[in-house]
Amino acid sequence: MTDLAPHVSGFLREHLPRQRNASRHTIASYSDSLLLLVCYVADCLKVRPSAISIEELTTDLIFGFLDHLEANRRNSVSTRNVRLAAVKSLFRYLEYRLPSCLELARQVHA
């Protein structure tokens, strides 16, 4: 099993600021979005956020997260789409680092 936590950290601490030259506002927005996703997934799987593995992520969980944002957090469609952009960006990052993630990344991008 491949832990998600170090990859999210690398994405936020190294990839976005150094390789993508993202602004601190973009990094903060992506960080908030991914924190919401990780907390949602941890709650669904009944595990600690640090214990989530990439193999446990499914499109059903990700799309359930998007529904949760609208229904439970009362986010607008545009806010939900900002969160989705962060998730898609994370999976774009993962697909170049983890071949085991390619199919899930393809499904998330669809």
Fold of the 5-109 domain: DNA polymerase; domain 1 (1.10.150)
pLDDT of residue 83: 97
What letter represents residue 79's amino acid? T
CB 16, CB 26: distance < 8 Å: yes
- Phi, psi for 41 (deg, rounded to 5): -65, -45
Judging by beta carbons within 10 Å of its beta carbon (0-12, 13-18, 19+), is residue 5 exposed, middle or buried?
A: middle
Question: CB within 8 A of 107, min separation 6: which ones?
Answer: 59
What is d(CA 80, CA 78) in angstroms, rounded to the nearest whole number?
5
pTM of structure: 0.92
- pLDDT beyond 90 at 86: yes
Q: Can you give the residue ranges of every domain in the chain?
A: 5-109
pLDDT tier at 1, thresholds 50, 70, 90: confident
> What average pLDDT is seen over the chain?
95
Given this model, what pLDDT does residue 101 score? 86
For 38-63, what is each residue's pLDDT tens digit? 999 999 999 999 999 999 999 999 99
Query: Which of 37, 52, 25, 20 has its CA nearest to residue 83?
Result: 37
Residue 36 pLDDT level (bands cut at 50, 70, 90): very high
- pLDDT at position 99 is 87
